[in-house]
Amino acid sequence: MKKAAFVAVVAAALASLDMQAQAAGMGTQAEASFQRVGDTREAEPARGDQIEYRYRIYNGRQQYRRWNVTKKCWVDPKWIDV
């Protein structure tokens, strides 16, 4: 009697595992075949700030300063001698 009950429990457990494995397999197939529709924009590449060097002659010395074209502000707080 104990052997028959043990066999029945093991058979039920195996059947349950088989159904879970099939359900999991269907989920991955559905996810793999999923495609996004409606978003036709292409992703723009990330770009860093564009920096330019500005030069001047002040009191007979050449100086430079970096200008951020993207943010429209100075990068360096002061003019730097060359």
Domain ranges of the chain: 1-30, 51-81
Angle of CA points 23, 25, 26, to nearest 5°: 65
Q: Do the Cβ atoms of 80 and 63 come closer than 8 Å?
A: yes
And the tokens for 78? 């002061």
Chunked into runs of 10 residues, the chain (82 residues) has average pLDDT values of 70 66 56 60 78 96 96 95 94
What's the pLDDT score for residue 9? 67
| Largest pairwise CA distance in the chain | 108
Torsion sign across C-alpha atoms 28, 30, 35, 37: negative
What's the pLDDT score for residue 53? 96
Q: Supply the pTM of this predicted model.
A: 0.44
